């Protein structure tokens, strides 16, 4: 259930990350949701495997914050990469 939990968190976390970091992103809502899911998976991996914050077995506030932080991290990286690609052209 761990990966499924992070995917569900990612759906919501992508929207919250976009709300925290408003701006015009290429790709629209679909890309934001995908970034949220990817960010939640990355946040879950970093939190449980690398930083040993404990296993996430269900929905709780700590794991939700990790999912949001991962989504913000991925959204920031996405904006930097897309912005860099547009400046170099």
Taking only the tens place, the pLDDT of each residue in 18-73 is 788 777 766 677 777 788 788 877 877 777 777 776 665 666 777 778 778 888 88
Whether the predicted pLDDT of 1 surpasses 60 = no
Residues 11-22, mean pLDDT to the nearest whole number: 80
Say what the pLDDT of residue 59 is: 66
CB < 8 Å & 24+ apart, contacts of 80-86? 82/25, 82/26
pLDDT of residue 72: 84
The span from the CA of 24 to the CA of 8, in Å, is 24
Q: Where are any strands of DSSP class E within the chain?
A: none
Please, are residues 38 and 24 in contact by the beta-carbon 8 Å criterion?
no
Q: Could you state, in order of their start, the residue ranges of all structural domains in the chain?
A: 2-88
How far is it, in rounded angstroms, from Cα 82 to Cα 85? 5
Q: How confident is the model at residue 87 (pLDDT cuts 50, 70, 90)?
A: low
**pTM of this prediction exceeds 0.75:** no
For residue 4, give the nearest of 52, 69, 57 by alpha carbon.
Answer: 57
pLDDT confidence of residue 26: 65
């Amino acid at each position: 259930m761990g990966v499924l939990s992070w995917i569900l968190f990612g759906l919501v976390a992508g929207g919250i990350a976009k709300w925290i970091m408003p701006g015009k992103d290429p790709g629209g809502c679909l890309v934001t949701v995908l970034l949220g899911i990817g960010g939640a998976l990355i946040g879950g991996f970093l939190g449980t495997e690398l930083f040993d914050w404990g296993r996430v077995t269900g929905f709780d506030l700590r794991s939700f914050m990790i999912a949001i932080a991962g989504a913000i991290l991925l959204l920031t990286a996405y904006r930097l990469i897309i912005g860099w690609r547009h400046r170099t052209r």
